A and B are shown apart, each in its own frame.
Chain A
């Protein structure tokens, strides 16, 4: 990794840093050689932040920005680029697309918003080389990727027999060879069932051929994750995504974390991260009775300290859905008749891609919009509740500033609600109109940087302005003491940061990208004693079942040339 030298002083801004419980104190942030320090010399470059808000760089816990399904989306949606691809202005290169932006636009747009770290939320292990190639080509932002395990044949074989240690050994091996970060679970068992044209909608459904249930997969992976002591917990996309009446399954899945203890040295307190919860918080028994159950779900999450969640907010845009939940994408295609791609990833997972238009005048879409925001407004602990759109599934990540605006300003929510053709029906099915809460900058900082960094086990590197942290610092043109009465100004301030320092280099000024920065690929290296049985199983399976040889499977060093490796000593 190239070292960034030099000193920067961000002067006189309103500092907001939940990690240090600093809420709007005026002060300076000193940066030296890529790290935040106590003080710098007079020679430091000065960024005047007077009257502006200073936060740590944003940390995105869940986004789909690299790899085969993102690329499929780019390939089969040329119309996503139409009239949305400006001309390049040096030093940036041409940017393309809206819901599935090119790698360049992805890096630039996150940087413009002051984000320094992004988690690619679903990596099919066999396609890890491709994921890393795209991550490497995405400028500025640090990234990591979560390999998917919830429908992996090895995992299901081991867990069927209750072999947690073997599962852990397999996970450790796979994280190393794919340069992965943690354990992603998508529609546990359901995606495997999809190969037989079936699905698992309930926790006790049987996975055909494997004779295991989603319940056993989730519990087993949680145990294996804590056995290894990984920085992040399991990262769970539950069964029955997107369907009316799915919230009992969601609650039952969350309950599997009850009594499970964390075991890690990274400051993480949860054993389960439940992702894009908006898609899992629905009542009703069909689209006519479809309604929000955000309150019921959050009442449980608020009580249960060892769970974290992210929102998956619907932003009312035309977007592209993509998920390893193959059966869900088929279901969606049958609903909207738009084009559909389906892929079976041999022993590991599957995926589907379908465009989708969230229309504020379509009642279920309006309800989905409200549900995502309700989750955040009911949250008691912003350090366990993170802002996402499950980019690009519920909307593009470039709408985070819009979500922040809605959460910080009731008037802006009411304006959207009032513009819906069938407002009354949306009001009947939700509680958004009864919620007066307006989140503070402090809460937003917890939900977009400090909280997600802690949940990922990365709180000693990201999410705070403490001395010693990686110098990712965002300056937003918002006066903490005198917030704008026009909510649009909140959105525009978060969309184009006044300045963004990434790893100690000024990469954005007044929303304009100045440099391609110094990106890092973060991955986890679990050092576990060799497990001869798992080693033999892997070798046998590669010889018998896989389309590639075992020696061609690992991600080569040159594909991730700027590694930031987190070693984990596994004590058996």
Chain B
């Protein structure tokens, strides 16, 4: 393994769009070459070297490359987007689109992330020690193909629109969430350890949601069918089991209609 350390030297005036901060883009390059990788600030081309000092050379492949950002990236977008392997660690906050369209590898953000964390993610892991803003693991705007695989774990609270159009993978919010969870989902799992304001599972076709706290406003399209004991993310508890969204179309499997499942801790 080879570690590349980026140390922020300057706060971007606009936001820095750093699609090139990924193990895939770094692979096979030395520090000098990495510093020359292209980013954008508004409509202008800039380089990684304009905003960070780069220490260390990358491994031969993405899988052999670890990136550590030693400082705050509150104004740096697209860290680790589309990455397929390797790791990225940010010791601080990160802006929007962390791990967007990610296919593999690991991202660890020790601070908070802004919106669109893990958007349309296909594989790999994202761990955020702090909070996330809105649209965790959702689909790109307009698209009907959301998160397909991988795991996102947010240790703090998250905002709204979690797992919109989700097709697979797992999102765990250890704190509270606001509104819109798994809207239009056709697969995947969302676990919320805290409370949710409402609009959980709206127009959901398939997939699973677990809520450990309370849902303040339940969607009318969900119907309680039974109560069941389950182990979810290492915790055993009794859950009320709902199916829905009854207002949505539902495919048939072996002659039976398939519904989404919503479990709320009893």
A positions within 8 Å CB-CB of B: 76-80, 82, 87-88, 337-339
User: Once the chains are docked, how many angstroms separate the CA of A78 from the CA of B140?
Assistant: 8
- A76, A337, A338 — which one has the most chain B CB atoms within 10 A of its CB? A337
Which one of B40, B43, B141 contacts A79 once the chains associate, using CB atoms below 8 Å?
B141
User: Once the chains are docked, how many angstroms separate the CA of A79 from the CA of B138?
Assistant: 13
Which chain B residues lie closer than 8 Å to A87 at the CB level? 40, 43, 45
Apart from the given pairs A78-B141, A87-B45, 17 other A-B contacts in the complex at a CB distance below 8 Å: A76-B142, A77-B142, A78-B140, A78-B142, A79-B140, A79-B141, A79-B142, A79-B143, A80-B142, A82-B140, A82-B143, A87-B40, A87-B43, A88-B43, A337-B249, A338-B144, A339-B144
Which chain B residues lie closer than 8 Å to A78 at the CB level? 140-142
- B40, B45, B142 — which one has the most chain A CB atoms within 10 A of its CB? B142
- What would 13 A/B residue contacts be, using CB atoms closer than 8 Å? A77-B142, A78-B140, A78-B141, A78-B142, A79-B140, A79-B141, A79-B142, A82-B140, A82-B143, A87-B45, A88-B43, A338-B144, A339-B144
User: Once the chains are docked, how many angstroms separate the CA of A79 from the CA of B142?
Assistant: 6
7 nearest A-B pairs in the assembled complex, by CB-CB distance: A79-B143, A78-B142, A79-B142, A78-B141, A79-B140, A82-B140, A77-B142
User: Once the chains are docked, how many angstroms separate the CA of A295 from the CA of B34?
Assistant: 58
B positions within 8 Å CB-CB of A: 40, 43, 45, 140-144, 249
Which chain B residues lie closer than 8 Å to A80 at the CB level? 142
User: Once the chains are docked, how many angstroms separate the CA of A337 from the CA of B142?
Assistant: 14
User: Once the chains are docked, how many angstroms separate the CA of A82 from the CA of B140?
Assistant: 8
User: Once the chains are docked, how many angstroms separate the CA of A88 from the CA of B44?
Assistant: 10
Distance in Å from the Cβ of B37 to the closest Cβ of chain A?
Answer: 15
Which chain A residues lie closer than 8 Å to B45 at the CB level? 87
Which chain A residues lie closer than 8 Å to B141 at the CB level? 78-79
Which chain A residues lie closer than 8 Å to B40 at the CB level? 87
Q: Is the interface of A mostly helix, strand, loop or mixed?
A: loop
User: Once the chains are docked, how many angstroms separate the CA of A82 from the CA of B19?
Assistant: 14
Chain A: CB-nearest residue to B40? A87
Which chain A residues lie closer than 8 Å to B140 at the CB level? 78-79, 82
Distance in Å from the Cβ of B39 to the closest Cβ of chain A?
Answer: 12
User: Once the chains are docked, how many angstroms separate the CA of A338 from the CA of B249?
Assistant: 12
User: Once the chains are docked, how many angstroms separate the CA of A77 from the CA of B45?
Assistant: 27
User: Once the chains are docked, how many angstroms separate the CA of A88 from the CA of B141?
Assistant: 23
User: Once the chains are docked, how many angstroms separate the CA of A338 from the CA of B145?
Assistant: 11
Which chain A residues lie closer than 8 Å to B43 at the CB level? 87-88
Which chain B residues lie closer than 8 Å to A88 at the CB level? 43
User: Once the chains are docked, how many angstroms separate the CA of A88 from the CA of B143?
Assistant: 25
Distance in Å from the Cβ of A341 to the closest Cβ of chain B?
Answer: 12
Distance in Å from the Cβ of B146 to the closest Cβ of chain A?
Answer: 11
Distance in Å from the Cβ of A84 to the closest Cβ of chain B?
Answer: 12
Distance in Å from the Cβ of A82 to the closest Cβ of chain B?
Answer: 6
Distance in Å from the Cβ of A14 to the closest Cβ of chain B?
Answer: 41
Distance in Å from the Cβ of B102 to the closest Cβ of chain A?
Answer: 14
Distance in Å from the Cβ of A570 to the closest Cβ of chain B?
Answer: 47
User: Once the chains are docked, how many angstroms separate the CA of A339 from the CA of B141?
Assistant: 13
Chain B: CB-nearest residue to A94? B43
User: Once the chains are docked, how many angstroms separate the CA of A82 from the CA of B144?
Assistant: 13
Distance in Å from the Cβ of B164 to the closest Cβ of chain A?
Answer: 13
User: Once the chains are docked, how many angstroms separate the CA of A80 from the CA of B141?
Assistant: 10
Chain A: CB-nearest residue to B141? A78
User: Once the chains are docked, how many angstroms separate the CA of A339 from the CA of B144?
Assistant: 9
Which chain B residues lie closer than 8 Å to A77 at the CB level? 142
User: Once the chains are docked, how many angstroms separate the CA of A17 from the CA of B140?
Assistant: 47
Distance in Å from the Cβ of B241 to the closest Cβ of chain A?
Answer: 26
Chain A: CB-nearest residue to B139? A79
Chain B: CB-nearest residue to A337? B249
Chain B: CB-nearest residue to A339? B144
- A80, A87, A338 — which one has the most chain B CB atoms within 10 A of its CB? A87
Distance in Å from the Cβ of A72 to the closest Cβ of chain B?
Answer: 12
Distance in Å from the Cβ of A437 to the closest Cβ of chain B?
Answer: 39
Distance in Å from the Cβ of B251 to the closest Cβ of chain A?
Answer: 10
Distance in Å from the Cβ of B139 to the closest Cβ of chain A?
Answer: 8
User: Once the chains are docked, how many angstroms separate the CA of A249 from the CA of B171?
Assistant: 52
User: Once the chains are docked, how many angstroms separate the CA of A87 from the CA of B45?
Assistant: 9
User: Once the chains are docked, how many angstroms separate the CA of A79 from the CA of B139?
Assistant: 10
User: Once the chains are docked, how many angstroms separate the CA of A338 from the CA of B45?
Assistant: 37
User: Once the chains are docked, how many angstroms separate the CA of A82 from the CA of B40?
Assistant: 16
User: Once the chains are docked, how many angstroms separate the CA of A88 from the CA of B43?
Assistant: 9
Which chain B residues lie closer than 8 Å to A76 at the CB level? 142
Which chain B residues lie closer than 8 Å to A337 at the CB level? 249
Distance in Å from the Cβ of B76 to the closest Cβ of chain A?
Answer: 19
User: Once the chains are docked, how many angstroms separate the CA of A337 from the CA of B249?
Assistant: 9
Distance in Å from the Cβ of B134 to the closest Cβ of chain A?
Answer: 17
Chain A: CB-nearest residue to B120? A82
User: Once the chains are docked, how many angstroms separate the CA of A76 from the CA of B45?
Assistant: 29
Which chain A residues lie closer than 8 Å to B144 at the CB level? 338-339
User: Once the chains are docked, how many angstroms separate the CA of A51 from the CA of B159?
Assistant: 62
User: Once the chains are docked, how many angstroms separate the CA of A80 from the CA of B45?
Assistant: 24
Distance in Å from the Cβ of A247 to the closest Cβ of chain B?
Answer: 32
Distance in Å from the Cβ of B247 to the closest Cβ of chain A?
Answer: 15
Chain A: CB-nearest residue to B205? A337
Distance in Å from the Cβ of A396 to the closest Cβ of chain B?
Answer: 17
Distance in Å from the Cβ of A416 to the closest Cβ of chain B?
Answer: 24
User: Once the chains are docked, how many angstroms separate the CA of A82 from the CA of B141?
Assistant: 9
Distance in Å from the Cβ of B140 to the closest Cβ of chain A?
Answer: 5
User: Once the chains are docked, how many angstroms separate the CA of A80 from the CA of B143?
Assistant: 9
Which chain A residues lie closer than 8 Å to B249 at the CB level? 337
Distance in Å from the Cβ of B49 to the closest Cβ of chain A?
Answer: 19
Distance in Å from the Cβ of A359 to the closest Cβ of chain B?
Answer: 14
User: Once the chains are docked, how many angstroms separate the CA of A449 from the CA of B140?
Assistant: 40
Which chain B residues lie closer than 8 Å to A339 at the CB level? 144
Which chain A residues lie closer than 8 Å to B142 at the CB level? 76-80
Which chain B residues lie closer than 8 Å to A79 at the CB level? 140-143
User: Once the chains are docked, how many angstroms separate the CA of A337 from the CA of B186?
Assistant: 12
Chain A: CB-nearest residue to B251? A337
Distance in Å from the Cβ of B82 to the closest Cβ of chain A?
Answer: 9
User: Once the chains are docked, how many angstroms separate the CA of A77 from the CA of B249?
Assistant: 22
Distance in Å from the Cβ of B120 to the closest Cβ of chain A?
Answer: 9
User: Once the chains are docked, how many angstroms separate the CA of A341 from the CA of B43?
Assistant: 33
User: Once the chains are docked, how many angstroms separate the CA of A308 from the CA of B43?
Assistant: 47
Distance in Å from the Cβ of A319 to the closest Cβ of chain B?
Answer: 14
Distance in Å from the Cβ of A79 to the closest Cβ of chain B?
Answer: 4
User: Once the chains are docked, how many angstroms separate the CA of A270 from the CA of B72?
Assistant: 69
User: Once the chains are docked, how many angstroms separate the CA of A180 from the CA of B110?
Assistant: 61
User: Once the chains are docked, how many angstroms separate the CA of A528 from the CA of B249?
Assistant: 55
Which chain A residues lie closer than 8 Å to B143 at the CB level? 79, 82
Distance in Å from the Cβ of A160 to the closest Cβ of chain B?
Answer: 40
